[in-house]
Structure 1
Amino acid sequence: MLDLGLEVLSKGNNMLRLLGGLWVALKISLLSVGISIALGILLGALMTWKNPVTKAILRVYLEFIRIMPQLVLLFLVYFGTTKAFGWDLTGEMAAIIVFVLWGTAEMSDLVRGALISIPRHQYESSEALGLTREQIYFYIIIPQALRRLIPLSINLITRMIKTTSLILMIGVVEILKVAQQIIEANRMSSPNAAFGIYLTVFILYFIACWPISMIAKHLERKWR
């Protein structure tokens, strides 16, 4: 009979430990997403301004975050700041800082793209109808931008959840770190435990991300 190593999950509280690790990953990613959305909307709106200094600063920030790998940012924030500034950051706090920096950059670019995608004639037509600038944004521009923005921002959530797998490199006990601990503890008694444990991790990530992905696809079809 094919041995997948799944029997390890029934030993002790291994399954509960994996679920606890998944919760750590979800907590970090969802908290980071919430902060990133708020900051991203603000910076995205600023990126549409005609002020060249503001646009240049935000563009440099965006390109820097895009070019720099998330793992390097994690090392820079977690290990670099403790040495350079004497900060006592936990692994979870460092992860949240990095994911907020990354998520804000991604979200601001999505907001900028959604705002500039609204045809110019809609602004002009609204002004011709006598609407104020605030009314134009509140009743005309923002509802259309949200229809373009929400599916893309939901996809960003799934990307951030999956990328939390990197935080084990700075000692955060999330689901992959727990999986490694279980595999190592059962290395002699269950040599095939790695396959079963990582398969379970894959399924748990799928269960966490699939509904979010389906929501994004549903909204895209509904608003197309």
Structure 2
Amino acid sequence: MLNMAISVLFKGNNFLRLCEGLWVTLRIALIAMLFSIVLGFIFGMIMTVNNRIVKILCRIYLEIVRIMPQLVLLFIVYFGAAKHLGINIHGELASIIVFTFWGTAEMGDLVRSALISIPKHQYESGYGLGLKKIQVYVYIIFPQTIRRLLPSSINLLTRMIKTTSLVVLIGVVEVVKVGKQIIDASRYTEPNTAIWVYGTIFLMYFIICFPFSRLASVLEKKLSD
């Protein structure tokens, strides 16, 4: 009985489908993270501007992202766009938009923290060497900022990979959705399949996320020395 339940994982192309679903999960997370890094750097720099209105607007954006659950944002973008704007957005695109919206805020706050943590004399030394403002940022500030951001950026990517499991609720066929399809297909013949399918999905997430988590810990320890 146990062997039959496990064999469902490898029946036909079930395991291959799980791998393809995992790739959808990773693709959403990686694309959203790429956009989040680029936009987050811009947003982080904007947050350091000494302007009250700009700071208030940035704070509102951050609070919306931190208070509003990602699932609600997914529903707003996916269902709201279709109903109120008459636009049929593919679930994967809606997911990328939402995770980019979330990741940009998180990344921007990390960039802001990294920028303000750099001592003022670093800027002054650059200007004293005759460098222009853009050169000071490119040659002095950005390299230090990136160095400080690496561990937290990797942790953000790990969180994003795990949170993509929510996209199953807007119809995206990722690894959790594929797992449910496999379980539903064998519900009457092998009722004990669920534990093995979800156990396999757990291992897949672990195999993907654990190296990132360890890398972030190693980098954080190494960069703090």
Same fold (TM over 0.5): yes
- Report the Cα offset of residue 117 of structure 1: 0.8
Give distance in 2, aligned partners of 1:4 and 1:41: 51
Give distance in 2, aligned partners of 1:76 and 1:67: 15
Residue 154 of structure 2 aligns with which residue? 154
Question: Are the aligned partners of 1:29 and 1:161 in contact in 2 as well (CA < 8 Å)?
Answer: yes
Instruction: Report matched runs for 1:22-61 at 5 Å.
Output: 22-61=22-61
Residue-by-residue CA offset, 1:25-50 (whole Å, 9 max, x unaligned): 11111011111110000010110011
Residue 196 of structure 1 aligns with which residue? 196
Question: Are the aligned partners of 2:25 and 2:174 in contact in 1 as well (CA < 8 Å)?
Answer: yes
Residue 12 of structure 2 aligns with which residue? 12
Structure 1 alignment gaps of length 5 or more: none
Question: Are the aligned partners of 1:4 and 1:192 in contact in 2 as well (CA < 8 Å)?
Answer: no
SS at match of 2:49: coil
Give distance in 1, aligned partners of 2:104 and 2:4: 41
- Report the Cα offset of residue 140 of structure 1: 2.2
Give distance in 2, aligned partners of 1:113 and 1:201: 35
Aligned residues: 224
RMSD: 1.6
Residue 89 of structure 1 aligns with which residue? 89
Residue 218 of structure 2 aligns with which residue? 218
Amino acid at match of 1:44: G
Give distance in 2, aligned partners of 1:142 and 1:10: 48
- Report the Cα offset of residue 129 of structure 1: 4.1
Amino acid at match of 1:76: I
Structure 2 alignment gaps of length 5 or more: none
Residue 133 of structure 1 aligns with which residue? 133
Identity, % of aligned pairs? 58
Q: Please report the TM-score for the alignment, with normalisation by the length of structure 2.
A: 0.94
Most deviating of 47-56 and 177-186: 47-56
Q: Please report the TM-score for the alignment, with normalisation by the length of structure 1.
A: 0.94
Question: Are the aligned partners of 2:4 and 2:190 in contact in 1 as well (CA < 8 Å)?
Answer: no
- Report the Cα offset of residue 130 of structure 1: 3.9
Amino acid at match of 1:200: T
Residue-by-residue CA offset, 1:49-75 (whole Å, 9 max, x unaligned): 112222221211111111100000001
Tell me whether 1:164 sits opposite 2:159 in the alignment.
no
Residue-by-residue CA offset, 1:161-183 (whole Å, 9 max, x unaligned): 10000000001110000111111
Amino acid at match of 2:158: T
Give distance in 1, aligned partners of 2:25 and 2:104: 18
SS at match of 1:189: coil
Give distance in 2, aligned partners of 1:116 and 1:68: 27
Amino acid at match of 1:56: I
SS at match of 2:144: helix
Question: Are the aligned partners of 1:6 and 1:193 in contact in 2 as well (CA < 8 Å)?
Answer: yes
SS at match of 2:173: coil
Amino acid at match of 2:25: A
SS at match of 1:191: coil
Give distance in 1, aligned partners of 2:95 and 2:135: 39
Give distance in 2, aligned partners of 1:4 and 1:59: 55
- Report the Cα offset of residue 119 of structure 1: 1.7
Tell me whether 1:173 sits opposite 2:157 in the alignment.
no
